[in-house]
Each structure stands twice: as structure tokens, then as C-alpha cells.
Structure 1
């Protein structure tokens, strides 16, 4: 279903979000104070506007309340990021996602009502570090400080074994959400599914349990 998004700030993060949303077929309004950046996205986004989003009257004139999501991707100007977020919430925007520069910025954004705070550099850094430090981990999504979804590559220790034989949930407290073999993905695989070397197991669980499963079963 097509949705309407507004992206405020056209740095690397905001630009990337804009391109992906457009690729998915959504309507995207992009806003930035820098005319050159706005011109760069004039032929990509549905609408591109040079504007100061710390001015409430400007936000109202843009019809910002009509958008399903507003992404505040302002980079180094923390004051502009915070004030823009505050105004958006005062205008009753339901879904305001904001890029945080640091932990202090994050705390302030939460206090003023940001619906979702993201740390693109920190999150990507963690993913890269995880992948570099553990060759069995192909990718992971951190759900919280304690729980994650991890994509693990099956070693020869799992070759030919079925899920019911491994009894992963009972033994390790980890749930196998799906198994990917090449381009095929098996969602909620049956207990008699036979794992082969190099299959990708997509599992969810407590980080300690996932690590225990990886160390003892793979």
C-alpha cells in the first residue's frame, strides 16, 4: 500500500531513506535548507522543497500533518533536529522517526516524544563488528540490548540433522524462524526439515542463548 513520507535532511542517511522509499513506490517529500541538495533530489523524490523546518508556519504550509511518517534526518545541527521534532509532535504527527547523533541527543528526542530514534552509524558499526568477529554470523538485527534476530551459516556439524533431532528451542531457548537455501527461503520449517551445510538459519532469542547455540551446536 502506497504511503506518504516526508524526509527532512538530505545527508547520506536521509538521502538513502528517500531513495529506498521511492524505489518501493511510495510518495516522498524531501526538505532541506541546502538548495543544492534539494536540487539533487528534485528528480528522485515526489516533491523537493527548500525550507526551514524549525518554523512551525513553514511546516503547516507544507501540509506536514497529511503525511503517514516524517523522518527527521538532520545531521550535525542538533538544535534544529530537536526543535523540528518538537514541532512535529506538537502538530500531532503520529509517526516521527529521528536520527540521533549521540546518546544525549537520543535522550532528549525520547523526552520530547519522538516515536522512533535511530542511530545509523552505531547500528551499522555493531553489525559490521559482529560480522567481522564471527565468521558464522552472516547478519543480525538487534531487537533490544538482550534479544536479536541472527542469520547463522550451518556448518558440517549440522549436516543431515533435522530440527526435531536438534531440539533447538528446548535445549537452547532459541527459535528458528526460517531457513534459507540459496534463493529459496522456508518460513517456519517443519520439525523434520533436514539441515544441510551452508544453509542459513534465521534464529531469534536472547543473545546469550544464541551464542550458546552457536558455540555448542554449530
Structure 2
């Protein structure tokens, strides 16, 4: 049975979510107040609807409470984003993810019951900055204010040693949770696993420990 989603707001962020969900074989109702945007997604989404999502009766008539997950990707209109979130919670939608414009917006969204709040522009900026600063860090995902998961390319300093030889957890406080090797992914690698040159290490830990590991073990 296909999963069912609603995406409200069909700008760049919301539109990319619709496209990706459709690629993943999900049922998607795409909603926007702009008729041109709705028309753009009429042939992409399962259903594309023009609606004012600050109107509770309009949302109820669409049967939104029956969907598994609603993504609110409304752009600059913070008031509409907040009102839409509030109405969806009152209707009884179980999972709501909302795009926040700033930290104040996020605080309000969390207080009124948003299940997940995302900052796509800020988060992408963090990832790009980390990728540019270090040649070893290939990708970066912030898990919280203090913890992250990163992809680090193994160099000559690590190649040829096993995980037990390197004792990375004890020395740096980070964990290697997986190793990407060509098309192979080793999940929870054993301590006797030998690291090879250009292996991609999936490392999780606090930002301080990750930077310490990257600085001392790879340079």
C-alpha cells in the first residue's frame, strides 16, 4: 500500500519534496494558493489543489486528517505557516513537518505542536561550509545543536589499520557506524575490519569530537 502525503506550498522547497516523493512511489496531494503553481504540479502529483490552507473548512473538505504526513513548505508568509499548522493539529493530523524561516518562527511552531521543524536554507549552508573547510569531509548532516553525522574519506593515515588498531572511539569519542567501499556498505563494521584508502567512513558524534578527530587523525 502506497504511503500518502500532503505538501502545502509549492515553491522551490515544497516542489522538490513533491518530486522526490513521487519518485519514491508515494501518493501526494500538492496544495498551493497560487493557481499557476498548482497547474505546474497537476501532471506530477497524484492530486494538485488550489486552496487557502488558513481556511479550516477548506482543509476539512480535502480530508487531510486521513493522510499520514503533512509537510508545510509555505515560503515567506509566516502567519499562514503558523495558522495552517495550528488548524492541522486541531483537525487531528498525526505528523506535521514545517519549514521555518527563523528561530523565532521555529519556537512558535514547536509550541503549537509541529512534530518536526526544518531550516532547509540554514542546514544546507552548514553542510556547504563544512564541505568547503575540510577536504576530508564529503557530507555533513546536523542531528542537533551539538551532534552530527559526517562522511569522511579515509586517507593514508588511516588506511591499512583496523578499527581496533585506531581505537577511534576511545581516543576521539566518535563512532564509525558504517563504511562505504565502492558499491558496498558495511554497517556496524567489526573491530577487526581494516580500513582501505578512499573508504568513506560514516562517523557520528559531537561536533567538538568530530572536528578533533578530523584535525588530529587526518592531517
- TM bin, normalised by shorter chain, reads over 0.9
Shift of 1:181: 1.3
Say which SS state the counterpart of residue 151 (structure 2) adopts. Answer: strand
Q: Name the CA distance, whole Å, in 1 between partners of 2:78 and 2:177.
A: 39
* 1:131 is the counterpart of 2:137: no
RMSD: 0.9
* 1:77 is the counterpart of 2:112: no
* 1:46 is the counterpart of 2:37: no
Gaps of 5+ in 1: none
State the match for 1:122 in structure 2.
122
Q: Name the CA distance, whole Å, in 1 between partners of 2:76 and 2:170.
A: 48
Shift of 1:192: 1.3
Q: Name the CA distance, whole Å, in 2 between partners of 1:148 and 1:126.
A: 11
Q: Name the CA distance, whole Å, in 2 between partners of 1:47 and 1:25.
A: 14
Number of equivalent positions = 218
State the match for 1:37 in structure 2.
37
Q: Name the CA distance, whole Å, in 2 between partners of 1:78 and 1:211.
A: 35
State the match for 1:145 in structure 2.
145
Shift of 1:122: 0.4
* 1:13 is the counterpart of 2:48: no
Q: Which moved more, 1:208-217 or 1:16-25?
A: 208-217
Q: Which moved more, 1:103-112 or 1:43-52?
A: 103-112
State the match for 1:92 in structure 2.
92
Q: Name the CA distance, whole Å, in 1 between partners of 2:167 and 2:2.
A: 41
Shift of 1:215: 1.6
Say which SS state the counterpart of residue 158 (structure 1) adopts. Answer: coil
Q: Name the CA distance, whole Å, in 1 between partners of 2:181 and 2:96.
A: 37
User: TM-score with structure 2 length normalisation?
Assistant: 0.97
Q: Name the CA distance, whole Å, in 1 between partners of 2:206 and 2:80.
A: 37
Gaps of 5+ in 2: none
State the match for 1:210 in structure 2.
210
Q: Name the CA distance, whole Å, in 1 between partners of 2:18 and 2:174.
A: 35
Q: Name the CA distance, whole Å, in 2 between partners of 1:209 and 1:129.
A: 18
- Residues 188-213 of structure 1, C-alpha deviations (whole Å, 9 max, x = no match): 11111111111110011111111111
Q: Name the CA distance, whole Å, in 2 between partners of 1:159 and 1:148.
A: 24
Q: Name the CA distance, whole Å, in 1 between partners of 2:209 and 2:76.
A: 38
Q: Name the CA distance, whole Å, in 2 between partners of 1:176 and 1:102.
A: 33
Which segments of structure 1 move beyond 3 Å, counting only runs of 4 or more? none
Say which SS state the counterpart of residue 157 (structure 1) adopts. Answer: coil
Say which SS state the counterpart of residue 106 (structure 2) adopts. Answer: helix
State the match for 1:177 in structure 2.
177
User: TM-score with structure 1 length normalisation?
Assistant: 0.98
Shift of 1:2: 2.4
